[in-house]
């Protein structure tokens, strides 16, 4: 088990509560935006990589309806157990423990793919992007939602303050300070928007659009095959 995998096993029971508290509920809005940008029709096939406790997966299921098919994949068992408990009303969802770098489905299986706060945590970002490209049908879309690099020095300072002075102390109340302390270095190491665009294009995608949120504190990137 990798360190990141073990981390998500530990934080799973409190993950949803902390997300709501730390984002002031805005993560639901951003996830819905990600689903909307896929532009999936009813009955479509979709994959939610690094699905965690299944927020985004359930949104995809509502979008494609009972005639669709949605796979929620994550490498950690604890978040998936929570996801399964919350999805009784979504028989179109299949939950799967697996690796985003080697997804066990054939080429051109899905019409849309989401990855929310997950690309930053994979061991090989270019390989994850290549897998998304392989799994998508022609003209299919992948949507990446994650922290990003703010557009001004003031916002960069705010992001560091927010993570170190708000996120970590809040997590400490639940005994998870060490688990959330990884966020700041992981965001710093994440590709900047121009670099991410280049990596996505190198994976084979034809069109890449980047949408900053909150001045670039977060971002949604839409890639079309």
Q: pLDDT tens for residues 5-44? A: 666 666 656 566 767 776 667 788 889 999 999 999 999 9
The verdict on residue 53 lying in a domain is yes
Structural domain of 110: 3-150+182-224
Is residue 170 in a domain?
no
How far is it, in rounded angstroms, from Cα 114 to Cα 160?
26
The residue with greater pLDDT, 119 or 8, is 119
Decide if 111 is inside a domain. yes
CA distance 189 to 192: 9
Reported as a single tens digit per residue, the pLDDT across 157-191 is 998 898 888 888 887 887 877 777 888 888 999 99
How many domains are contained in the chain?
1
- Enter the pTM of the model: 0.91
9 lies in some domain: yes
Answer yes or no: is 160 within a domain. Answer: no
What CATH number is attached to the domain comprising 218? 3.40.50.150
- Does residue 48 sit in helix, strand or coil? strand
Instruction: Give a yes or no: residue 174 inside a domain.
Output: no
Is 19 part of any domain? yes
């Amino acid at each position: 088990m990798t360190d990141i995998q073990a981390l998500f096993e530990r934080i799973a029971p409190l993950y949803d509560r902390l997300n709501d508290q730390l984002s002031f509920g805005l993560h639901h809005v951003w996830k819905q935006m990600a689903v909307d940008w896929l532009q999936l029709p009813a009955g479509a096939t979709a994959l939610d990589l690094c699905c965690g406790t299944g927020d985004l997966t359930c949104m995809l299921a509502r979008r494609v309806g009972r005639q669709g098919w949605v796979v929620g994949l994550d490498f950690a068992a604890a978040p998936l157990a929570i996801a399964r408990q919350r999805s009784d009303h979504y028989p179109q969802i299949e939950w799967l423990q697996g690796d985003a770098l080697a997804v066990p489905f054939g080429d051109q299986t899905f019409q849309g793919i989401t990855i929310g706060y997950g690309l930053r945590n994979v061991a090989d970002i270019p390989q994850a992007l290549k897998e998304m490209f392989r799994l998508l049908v022609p003209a299919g879309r992948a949507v990446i939602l994650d922290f990003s690099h703010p557009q001004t020095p003031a916002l960069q300072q705010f992001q560091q303050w927010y993570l170190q002075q708000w996120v970590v102390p809040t997590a400490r109340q639940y005994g998870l300070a060490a688990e959330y302390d990884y966020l700041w270095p992981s965001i710093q190491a994440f590709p900047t928007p121009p670099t991410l665009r280049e990596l996505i294009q190198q994976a084979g995608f034809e069109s890449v659009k980047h949408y900053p949120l909150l001045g670039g504190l977060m971002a949604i990137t839409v890639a079309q095959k």
